[in-house]
Structure 1
């Protein structure tokens, strides 16, 4: 989820499911934008099954035949198409040391996380640490700080609370309440493709707590409404389901 490199932050429930990964691996993924393949998704707990892309149409066809919400029946069908996933030798999940990730990404601020990683990079040759430092230094300072606050709040919230909060955060980003970073990030990466975004504020230390907090309050506009989630008969099960 490379949103911070685009001047945004991981949303659509990311603060819920990333915060529930082992240790602080979710902070690592969200702040660095490191991409994971299917096997890594299963290994870290973001996915439950590994199915070859060529078999996905067949799986979808079988699921469409089922007129039931019984989890046992559905799981049996998915299991029939699932394979044992094997991590590649150069897998980031295989190479990363969780003790270092937990020590660095458990810090209270992005500045402290970056400082801890830079300290680790002095005495170690692990390229994933160097890559993490580079990502933090080139991504949107605002996006990084907003996401860290978001995932920390997500650790104690349900999926519904996280979705409602993240919708609010995204509205502020799209309305440019605090910064133009999302539009600037899209310009640099997707339109002009110069890969040279000019973030504002340009440094972590210039992003104040008040700026970050603005993303977490209601949008001050008559044409804006809070996200309204549908109420379902099995809402209790949905709220406690493991993603």
Structure 2
């Protein structure tokens, strides 16, 4: 689910930012699901062959393997070489656009790439760019800025630090002191389902660094009902001696 469409934010700030090529930022900001080419680009697959080429790949494999009398090592190499012939190569488009330091620059680069793509036959690139831009423009601007910062910092932080920050931001979102857009997002997406949320602030450029910083600030001190997350100590759990579990 696209959390930014609800006025929330994307979690998983420990492992998603560790995907290569800024695919973590792409998934967190857009809520997209990876297709074959994107799985290949972020290192989660070794090859990607478009559906239209599968029958040709099968025929080539059948023909060459049937006529092959080489050793097992060469046989494996032959298989890999054949698949490489029909496989798409990694795209650098996600890395190029999503590597920018701010949401404003990311969106600007995507729109610039789409304008360039429209002047030539770019095929899937046009469709991907248009869908990504549309998704970002529909999302809550505040959520996008929070998620981007969360992911960039999560690249160099441990899982404990990431969990602390995600809990803290969740509490700040529910408090609604800067914005009540979480309720508005739930209304537009889950309740009334009119898909027309009225975000406040409504644009990226209206959101200051100070506003974003509020969501990352500690909870202790400003409200007794909201406390910092604490991991339970091990002593609170029962210890089973000689347990076979």
The answer, yes or no, to whether TM exceeds 0.5 is: yes
Partner of 1:104: 97
Q: How many residues align?
A: 192
- TM-score normalised by L of structure 1: 0.70
- TM-score normalised by L of structure 2: 0.70
In structure 2, what is the Cα distance between the partners aligned to 1:95 and 1:199?
A: 40
Q: Which one of the candidate residues 2, 15, 24 is aligned to 2:13?
A: 15
Instruction: Using the TM superposition, give the Cα deviation of residue 41 of structure 1 relative to its aligned residue in structure 2, in angstroms.
Output: 6.8
Larger Rg, first or second structure (1 or 2):
2
Contact 1:19 1:26 in 2 (8 A): yes
Contact 1:168 1:216 in 2 (8 A): yes
Query: What is the RMSD computed on CA atoms of the aligned residues?
Result: 3.0
Instruction: Using the TM superposition, give the Cα deviation of residue 173 of structure 1 relative to its aligned residue in structure 2, in angstroms.
Output: 0.4
Q: Which one of the candidate residues 29, 32, 35 is aligned to 2:33?
A: 35
Q: How does 1:20-99 map to 2 (within 5 A)?
A: 20-36=18-34, 44=42, 89=51, 98-99=91-92
CA displacement 1:41-72 (0-9 Å, x = unmatched):
798467x9xxxxxxxxxxxxxxxxxxxxxxxx
Instruction: Using the TM superposition, give the Cα deviation of residue 177 of structure 1 relative to its aligned residue in structure 2, in angstroms.
Output: 2.2
Shift in CA distance, 155/9, structure 1 to aligned 2, threshold 3 Å: same
Shift in CA distance, 41/123, structure 1 to aligned 2, threshold 3 Å: closer
Unaligned runs of 5+ in 1: 49-83, 234-243
Partner of 1:180: 180
Partner of 1:119: 112
Shift in CA distance, 96/170, structure 1 to aligned 2, threshold 3 Å: farther
In structure 1, what is the Cα distance between the partners aligned to 2:48 and 2:153?
A: 33
Instruction: Using the TM superposition, give the Cα deviation of residue 35 of structure 1 relative to its aligned residue in structure 2, in angstroms.
Output: 2.4
CA displacement 1:13-60 (0-9 Å, x = unmatched):
x111111001201011111110247997798467x9xxxxxxxxxxxx
Instruction: Using the TM superposition, give the Cα deviation of residue 142 of structure 1 relative to its aligned residue in structure 2, in angstroms.
Output: 0.3
SS of 1:148 mapped into structure 2: helix
Unaligned runs of 5+ in 2: 53-86, 236-245
